[in-house]
Amino acid sequence: MTTRRAIIAAGVLAAAAAFASSPAIAQQKIVLKATDVHPLGYPTVEAVVRMGKKLETATNGRISIQMFPSMQLGGEKEMIEQAQVGALQIARISLGPMGSVVPELNAFNLPFVFRDPDHMKKVVLGPIGDEMLKKLSDHPTAGLIGLAWMSGGTRNVYNSKKPIKTMEDFKGLKIRMMGNPIFVDTMNAMGGNGVAMGYDQLINALQTGVVDGAENNEPSYASGQHYRYAKYYSMTQHLIIPEILVFSKRTWQTLSKEDQDLIMKTAKESQTEQWALWAEFEKKSIADMKANGVEIIPVDNTAMAAAVKQAVYEKHAKPLQAFIERVQAVK
Ligand code: GTR
């Protein structure tokens, strides 16, 4: 058994013990294991920590959240797997790796599908976002309940070699992308070589030169200190990907309706809090980047957007067309 499998198996046993549904232990303490790739203090982590405090207050300590930040339980692929089997309860992940779980979610993973972060917010916090959460929760094999959406800012490309301003500048550069074919194809269409890899492997890959760069929002780049290995941050703004808070369906089914409602309510509150925390944290991250000598390069992304829309939409967007049109109609 691999270590990862062993961890998951141990987690399943522990979870089964913790969530045994006999009425006699219904009042027992419920400790919800939550995880995130980011460190304590990062907006997504802080919002879930606050959600835990609210749950404790509302239930006199009967329900609480134990947070495992900083990839302590592995990368996002592992988080999804552990939530599916009930080895953990709450995972805050990017929507990026969720495309392989529920393909419709990829409508939000397409490059340039949102005009700007405000447009993304309007869509995901409106009826289309609700519908997507329901699609996830109702999915027969996904094994996850969709709780809430969070902000993931706008993603830009950074690298260790040179300032990237045009598609020509990407030539020969290996750029790490999240594990979803849409993103690898996006990078290839922009002119670079997309390499799929988990976030948990990225810092090492940057350090050893396995990749020349990656792409992310300012908060991830700054809090992960990726500037130590890749100082050129080019404002390509190619992806605006929402973050999602998911809950293990296996555990969910063992909870009372009241507990489910309370978790849902506090999750929606954490969504609002995260969005507010994000705005501040983004500013702070840009200041950190400047203080650490990052070169922030303005980019005219018109040609990149055109190339990406042709290649990536041709290949991935056809089954999602109806959703895309509805997304773009949101003003
Ligand atoms: C971050 C996001 C993470 C993770 C990471 C990545 O912006 O918050 O959930 O997906 O990007 O690039 O893998």
What pLDDT digit, counting tens, does each position of 220-272 carry? 999 999 999 999 999 999 999 999 999 999 999 999 999 999 999 999 999 99
3-class secondary-structure state, position 300: coil
φ/ψ of 72, rounded to 5, equals -60, -25
| Ligand 1 atom closest to 92 (CA) | 9
Please provide the average confidence, as pLDDT, over all residues in the chain: 94
Percent of residues, the chain, with pLDDT higher than 90: 92
**Could you name the CATH architecture of 3-106+115-151+242-283?**
3-Layer(aba) Sandwich (3.40)
pLDDT at residue 20, as a whole number: 47
Please tell me the distance from the alpha carbon of residue 112 to that of residue 254, in angstroms, as a whole number.
Answer: 40
pLDDT at residue 7, as a whole number: 52
258 Cα–ligand 1 center, Å: 32
φ/ψ of 179, rounded to 5, equals -75, 85
Please tell me the distance from the alpha carbon of residue 205 to that of residue 224, in angstroms, as a whole number.
Answer: 13
Please tell me the distance from the alpha carbon of residue 307 to that of residue 290, in angstroms, as a whole number.
Answer: 31
196: which strand partners? Answer: 177
* Shortest-distance Cα residue to atom 5 of ligand 1: 199
Looking up tokens 């050893």, which residue turns up? 208
The residue whose CB lies within 8 Å of the most ligand 1 atoms, and thus the one to mutate among 76, 238, 244, is: 76
- Looking at 58-179, which runs of residues are DSSP E strands? 63-68, 90-94, 144-150, 155-159, 174-177
* Shortest-distance Cα residue to atom 1 of ligand 1: 220
Please tell me the distance from the alpha carbon of residue 135 to that of residue 146, in angstroms, as a whole number.
Answer: 8
From the list 38, 44, 31, 101, the residue with the least C-alpha distance to 263 is: 31
199 Cα–ligand 1 center, Å: 7
Distance in Å from the first CA to the final CA of the chain: 51
Instruction: Give the DSSP letter string of 169-238.
Output: GGTT-EEEE-SSHHHHHHHHHHTSEEEE--HHHHHHHHHHTSSSEEEE-HHHHHHTTGGGT--EEEEEEE
| Ligand 1 atom closest to 215 (CA) | 12
Q: What Å distances lie between residue 257 and 67, 260, 271, CA to CA?
A: 23, 5, 21
Please tell me the distance from the alpha carbon of residue 133 to that of residue 121, in angstroms, as a whole number.
Answer: 14
| Ligand 1 atom closest to 94 (CA) | 9
26 Cα–ligand 1 center, Å: 36
Contact indicator for 246, 90 with CB cutoff of 8 Å: yes
91 Cα–ligand 1 center, Å: 12
Distance of CA 215 to the CA centre of its chain: 13
Other CB atoms within 10 Å distance of the CB of residue 314: 11
Torsion of CA 202, 206, 211, 213, to 10 degrees: 90
Asked, colleague to colleague, whether 3-106+115-151+242-283 and 154-240+287-329 share their fold, the answer is yes
Which residues does ligand 1 sit against, CB inside 6 Å? 37, 76, 93-94, 96, 152, 178, 199, 216-217, 220, 243
Contact indicator for 149, 242 with CB cutoff of 8 Å: yes
Please tell me the distance from the alpha carbon of residue 322 to that of residue 123, in angstroms, as a whole number.
Answer: 14
The CATH code of the domain at 154-240+287-329 is 3.40.190.170
pLDDT per residue as tens digits for the range 196-213: 999 999 999 999 999 999
The residue whose CB lies within 8 Å of the most ligand 1 atoms, and thus the one to mutate among 243, 246, 285, is: 243
For residues 213-221, give the mean pLDDT: 98
Domain ranges of the chain: 3-106+115-151+242-283, 154-240+287-329
| Ligand 1 atom closest to 199 (CA) | 13
* Shortest-distance Cα residue to atom 10 of ligand 1: 94
The residue whose CB lies within 8 Å of the most ligand 1 atoms, and thus the one to mutate among 76, 199, 239, 241, is: 199
pLDDT per residue as tens digits for the range 3-46: 555 555 555 555 554 554 444 445 799 999 999 999 999 999 99
